């Protein structure tokens, strides 16, 4: 089971990190956390650098958040880098999610988009 960590140490940005394995159990917590951040005048970054597994419920939350953020004018990006678990990276590549979600290759790139 994974953890969902909120980091607000960067001014104007909320970083939500997923660490470990995530499925239906953590999807509800993630959805609630992200929904609370929409429209709060902060950019949202979901950092998957420490994620080792995501199921489709998590992907669904990310797609919903993309739509809500877009509608609210909230900057939103997802970090997938070399540290991200192989199964997570492959899922985004094979399914084409990397072309429809706002994926960036580093936290620094996400922070520059969030501001």
* pLDDT tens readout for residues 89-102: 999 999 999 999 99
CA 64/CA 70 separation, integer angstroms? 10
Reduced to 3 states, what is the DSSP secondary structure of residue 15?
A: strand
Give me 109's structure tokens: 């790139």
CB count, 10 Å around CB of 47?
24
**Residue 1: band (very low, low, confident or very high) from pLDDT cuts 50, 70, 90:** confident
pTM for this one?
A: 0.94
Reduced to 3 states, what is the DSSP secondary structure of residue 47?
A: strand
The tens digit of pLDDT for each residue in 8-18 reads 999 999 999 99
CA 65/CA 5 separation, integer angstroms? 17
* Nearest Cα residue to 88 out of 76, 109, 70, 103: 103
CA 50/CA 85 separation, integer angstroms? 7
């Amino acid at each position: 089971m994974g953890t969902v960590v909120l980091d607000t140490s960067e001014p104007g940005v909320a970083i939500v990190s997923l660490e470990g394995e995530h499925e239906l159990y953590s999807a509800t917590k993630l959805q609630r956390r992200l929904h609370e951040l929409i429209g709060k005048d902060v950019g949202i970054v979901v950092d998957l650098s420490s994620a080792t597994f995501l199921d489709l419920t998590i992907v669904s939350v990310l797609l919903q958040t993309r739509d809500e953020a877009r509608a609210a004018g909230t900057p939103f990006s997802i970090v997938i880098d070399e540290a991200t678990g192989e199964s997570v990276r492959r899922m985004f590549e094979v399914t084409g999610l990397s072309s429809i979600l706002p994926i960036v290759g580093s936290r620094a790139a996400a922070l520059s988009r969030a501001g």
